[in-house]
Amino acid sequence: MKQAFLVFLGGGLGSVFRYAISKSLNPVFQNFFLGTFLVNIIGSLLIGLIIGMSSRNNLLSSNSVLFLATGFCGGFTTFSAFAFEKHSLVKNGELFHFSFYTISSIFVGLLAIALGIWLSKLSS
């Protein structure tokens, strides 16, 4: 029960942060959801840091990983919103923006995870 509460609490906090960032940054560019993009990249970086820290000398407890990775990052990242936004771009015939947004989100997200793991090893 404690683990479910940690995921619930972390997810709620992550969702509030996602909402604030997306609401303020999505209107910046037309046809590129900057807030969603940044949330996904930051979330990927955070998950990389959490994975790196938890695998190195048990710096994070399993409860901390549940709260941070499963809870906070799960609520914070927005791949369901990401998919919906991509659908709306295709529906509106914005194939270039769809392709650019999809490829850049996936590629930069993967790089951010690798960067997070690498950064977590710097302090050893």
**CA 54 – CA 76 distance, rounded (Å):** 19
What pTM did the predictor assign?
0.79
- The annotation status of 74 as a binding-site residue, yes or no, is yes
Taking the C-alpha atoms of 33, 34, 39 and 40 in order, what is their torsion angle to the nearest 10 degrees? 60
Residue 63 pLDDT > 90, yes or no? yes
How large is the average pLDDT for residues 74-101?
90
CA dist 86 and 46 (Å) reads 24
Instruction: Give the integer Cα–Cα distance in Å for 86 and 81.
Output: 9
What pLDDT is attached to residue 113?
A: 93
Residues 14-46 pLDDT 10s: 999 999 999 999 999 988 999 999 999 999 999
Residue 124: band (very low, low, confident or very high) from pLDDT cuts 50, 70, 90: low
Whether the predicted pLDDT of 123 surpasses 80: no
DSSP classification of residue 64: H
In b/e form, how buried is each residue of 64-102, taking b as 16+ CB within 10 angstroms?
A: ebbbbbbbbbbbbbbeebbeebbeebeeeebeebbeebb
pLDDT for position 30:
87
77 annotated among ligand-binding-site residues? yes
What tokens appear for 10 in the block? 């972390």
| pLDDT band (50, 70, 90) for residue 59 | confident
